[in-house]
């Protein structure tokens, strides 16, 4: 009997064995990431695990030194932020990069202003900004012409996210979007994150907050010391298991989890398999050539 072909679309973004070195520092030592359209993929890990380097490589700020990057199933090379923007990748960094002295409209079009002749097309920009905010069900902003300096933290985050989806983006990366927000503002931003995915975008959410991750994420990618510890479906794991992966790089993983590939930098590290009962044994070679188990 002939097996039916897999008609599922390829992931919006797939990174395979990504590596990045800064001199003698191995920031990324073989990372894997899959982000699918219509889903929120959480990227978690302890400080120094490589999360910021990972998103900067995807955004074109740093090129990967090795590994493969596939966008919508096609191998690509992202060497600059312009390359990332052309593909449809937008990043909202933790500092938001908003100008307090400009209004919402001008912040959303900052650096990409629409022009009519030699003048800015204020009417077209205002109309487009209002459409995007309405499409995201943003109702907390009093006027799109108010200055960003007068906005709350949650409203600022909303403007930054709206700017990211203004340009027909396909992948939106959010770096700690709720880090400095209160409870009510955090809930507003998380609802917006979920609406982005429901609208068909692939969303990568970088976060330390497990409550946020388990509330909105469809899958969780855990980094540990520059390597991918696992990528797991949220419904198939628990907070304790994710925390164990963050702190030790290994845990009993459910079936279907993506385990890390062995790193050339650490050949003694065995790949974890799906069963929680699987065990590994390591051999350590001493400096005088003797081996102990």
Q: Residue 58: inside a domain, yes or no?
A: yes
**Could you tell me if 42 and 77 lie in one domain?**
yes
Last residue within a domain, chosen from 110, 145, 168 = 168
**Could you tell me if 119 and 75 lie in one domain?**
no
Q: Residue 264: inside a domain, yes or no?
A: no
Rounded to 5°, the CA angle 275-246-57 comes to: 110
**Could you tell me if 23 and 55 lie in one domain?**
yes
**Could you tell me if 107 and 163 lie in one domain?**
yes
pLDDT in tens, 26-66: 999 999 999 999 999 999 999 999 999 999 999 999 999 99
Dihedral of the alpha carbons of 158, 97, 49, 83, in degrees to the nearest 10: 100
Given this model, what pLDDT does residue 223 score?
Answer: 96
Answer yes or no: are the C-beta atoms of 165 and 138 closer than 8 Å.
no
**Could you tell me if 182 and 136 lie in one domain?**
no
Q: Residue 206: which residues within 8 A CB-CB, separation 6 or more? A: 42, 43, 44, 51, 52, 55, 173, 174, 175, 176
Q: Residue 46: inside a domain, yes or no?
A: yes
Q: What is the CATH number of the domain that holds 178?
A: 3.40.50.300
Helix (H) or strand (E) holding 156: helix 153-165
Given this model, what pLDDT does residue 140 score?
Answer: 81
Last residue within a domain, chosen from 130, 153, 168 = 168
Question: Is the model's pLDDT at 272 over the cut of 90?
Answer: no
Domain extent, residue 35, equals 8-88+169-253
DSSP 8-state secondary structure symbol assigned to residue 279: -
Q: Residue 176: inside a domain, yes or no?
A: yes
**Could you tell me if 178 and 83 lie in one domain?**
yes
Given this model, what pLDDT does residue 261 score?
Answer: 52
Average pLDDT over residues 231-246: 95
Answer yes or no: are the C-beta atoms of 249 and 266 closer than 8 Å.
no
Average pLDDT over residues 253-259: 52
Question: Is the model's pLDDT at 269 over the cut of 70?
Answer: no
Question: Is the model's pLDDT at 270 over the cut of 50?
Answer: no
Average pLDDT over residues 86-115: 92
Given this model, what pLDDT does residue 142 score?
Answer: 86
SS3 112: coil
Answer yes or no: are the C-beta atoms of 40 and 193 closer than 8 Å.
yes
pTM value? 0.80
Q: What is the per-residue DSSP string for the chain?
A: -PPPP--PPPPSEEEEEEEEEETTEEEEEEEEEEE-TT-EEEEEE-TTSSHHHHHHHHTTSS--SEEEEEETTEEE---SHHHHHHHTEEEE-TTTT--TTSBHHHHHTTTS--EETTEE-HHHHHHHHHHHHHHTT----S-TTSBGGGS-HHHHHHHHHHHHHTT--SEEEEESTTTT--HHHHHHHHHHHHHHHHTT-EEEEE-S-HHHHHHH-SEEEEEETTEEEEEEEGGG--HHHHHHHHHHS-----TT-BPPPPBTTBTTPPPP-S-TT------EE-TTS-EE-
**Could you tell me if 114 and 49 lie in one domain?**
no
Q: Token pair of 55, please?
A: 């998103």
**Could you tell me if 140 and 173 lie in one domain?**
no
> What is the spatial distance between Cα 44 and Cα 32, in angstroms, rounded to a whole number?
13
Pairing of strands 40-45, 202-206: parallel
Last residue within a domain, chosen from 110, 141, 168 = 168
How many independent structural domains does the chain possess?
Answer: 2
**Could you tell me if 150 and 192 lie in one domain?**
no
């Amino acid at each position: 009997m002939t097996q039916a072909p897999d008609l599922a679309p390829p992931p919006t973004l797939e990174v395979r064995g990504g590596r990045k070195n800064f001199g003698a520092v191995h920031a990324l030592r073989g990372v894997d990431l899959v982000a699918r359209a219509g889903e929120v993929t959480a990227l978690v890990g302890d400080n120094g695990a490589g999360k910021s380097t990972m998103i900067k490589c995807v955004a074109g700020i740093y090129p990967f030194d090795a590994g493969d990057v596939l966008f919508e199933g096609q191998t690509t090379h992202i060497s600059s932020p312009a390359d990332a923007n052309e593909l449809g990748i937008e990043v909202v960094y933790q500092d938001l990069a908003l100008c307090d002295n400009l209004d919402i409209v001008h912040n959303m079009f900052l650096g990409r202003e629409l022009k009519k002749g030699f003048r800015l097309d204020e009417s077209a920009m205002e109309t487009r900004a209002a459409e995007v905010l309405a499409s995201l069900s943003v109702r907390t902003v009093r006027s799109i012409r108010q200055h960003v300096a007068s906005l709350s933290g949650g409203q600022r985050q909303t403007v930054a996210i709206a700017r990211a989806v203004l340009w027909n983006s396909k992948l939106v990366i959010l770096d700690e979007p709720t880090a400095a927000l209160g409870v009510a503002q955090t809930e507003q931003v998380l609802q917006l994150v979920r609406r982005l995915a429901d609208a068909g975008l692939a969303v990568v959410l970088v976060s330390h907050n497990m409550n946020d991750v388990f509330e909105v994420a469809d899958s969780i990618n855990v980094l540990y010391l520059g390597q991918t510890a696992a990528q797991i479906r949220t419904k198939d794991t628990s907070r304790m298991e994710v925390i164990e992966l963050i702190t030790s790089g290994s845990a009993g993983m459910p079936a279907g989890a993506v385990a890390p590939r062995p790193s050339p930098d650490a050949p003694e590290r065995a790949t974890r398999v799906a069963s929680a009962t699987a065990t590994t044994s390591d051999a350590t070679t001493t400096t005088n050539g003797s081996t102990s188990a």
